[in-house]
Amino acid sequence: MDDAPPPPQTPAPPADRISLRKELVRVSLEKRGARGIRARVALVLDRTGSMRARYADGTVGRLVERLAPVAAVLDDDGELDAWTFADHCARLPSLRIPELGDWIERHVYIRSGNRQLPPLPDGSLRVPDHLVHVFGGNNEPEVIQDILRAYAAEPGDPVLVLFFSDGGVNRTKQISALLTEAAAKPLFWQFVGLGRADYGILERFDTLPGRLVDNAGFFQVDDIDRIDDAELYDRLLSEFPQWLTEARRAGVIR
């Protein structure tokens, strides 16, 4: 009989903390004249090797917990769609707040040597099948294309893409071409840099020519855990309402 203690679990966040965060999202939108807007929300998580420490110390799990309320407020179904990427990408199951703790346990992983951190809920260290090919370096174009295909096949409300990366962005021509073409699509891309690094084209969206509308923003933080929820939501949502107005004017959305 195996007497080993069960692996640590990620508890669901307290209901009052979720409620407060949802209200902070509403306040942030209201300050921009956008309270009550509807949108789908997509989360993109960098799973490259340089992100190992942020997975192992729980930073990524805590970030997911803070982002779920954004979708709970904006999306009709309260679902946060999710992708992860490195050399290749994978679409993850959509997340709703009641399943938050279990979702983080099942889908927020990183390898450290021959160990999988955190362990799978059953105590094993096997990489789950849907993540086995997601490792190595940066391939942002692949995940951008996958997101565009997914929402083209699932038309509906406009999409706010929250895209987190710790740098190493080097496929400038491909990313530029994709986002220029995507400017005619009902998606706004909010990129967030995690730490001091070279983010390449992500830092130069304001000067990216040839787009029907400005469909992307970027900001960088040294330590996302040190930004309080109100500031985080303000920064994540700062450009999205303006894009909605411009996208409607250009006929990108109705």
Residue 102, pLDDT score:
87
Residue with tokens 């909010």, as numbered in its chain: 190
β-pair partners for 15: none
The answer to whether residue 115 scores a pLDDT higher than 90 is no
Return the pLDDT at 238.
Answer: 95
Q: 221: how many CB neighbours lie within 10 A of its CB?
A: 17
- Per-residue pLDDT band for 136 (boundaries 50, 70, 90) equals low
Q: Dig out the tokens for 63 from the structure.
A: 């970030």
Alpha helices in 76-122 (DSSP H): 100-107
Regarding predicted confidence, which is higher, 126 or 83? 83
Q: What is the 3-state secondary structure (H, E, C) of 182-230?
A: HCCCCEEEEEEEECCCCCHHHHHHHHCCCCCCCCEEEEEECCHHHCCHH
Distance CA 98, CA 218 (A): 30
**What is the structure's pLDDT at 161?**
98
**Cα–Cα distance for residue pair 191/110, rounded to 1 Å:** 21
Q: Which band of pLDDT confidence, cut at 50, 70 and 90, is reported for residue 118?
A: low
Q: Is 112 helix (H, G, I), strand (E, B) or coil?
A: strand
Q: How far apart are CA 140 and CA 175, in angstroms?
A: 7
* 219 alpha carbon, distance to own chain's centre: 14
Domain topology for 15-223? Rossmann fold (3.40.50)
Q: How far apart are CA 177 and CA 80, in angstroms?
A: 26
Q: By the 8 A CB rule, do 149 and 175 touch?
A: no
CA 232 – CA 66 distance, rounded (Å)? 9
C-alpha dist (Å) from residue 218 to 15, 19, 68, 221: 31, 27, 20, 10
Higher-confidence position of 102 and 110:
102
pLDDT at 97 over 80: yes
Tell me how far apart the alpha carbons of residues 68 and 13 are, in angstroms, rounded to a whole number: 11
**Nearest C-alpha neighbor of 187 from the set 179, 198, 197:** 179
Considering the entire predicted model, what is its pTM?
0.88
Lowest mean pLDDT among 81-85, 104-108, 212-216: 104-108
Residue 9 has pLDDT above 80, yes or no: no
Residue 192 contacts residue 165 (beta carbons within 8 Å): yes
pLDDT at position 119 is 52
Top pLDDT among 3 and 92 is at: 92
4 pLDDT more than 80: no
Q: Determine the pLDDT at residue 153.
A: 96
- The confidence score (pLDDT) of residue 108 equals 84
Per-residue pLDDT at 204: 82
Q: Domain spans of the chain?
A: 15-223
182 burial type by CB count under 10 A (0-12 exposed, 13-18 middle, 19+ buried): buried
Q: Which amino acid is at 149?
A: R
Question: Tens digit of pLDDT for each residue in 167-192?
Answer: 777 778 889 999 999 999 999 999 99
**Reported confidence tier of residue 96, pLDDT bands at 50, 70, 90:** very high
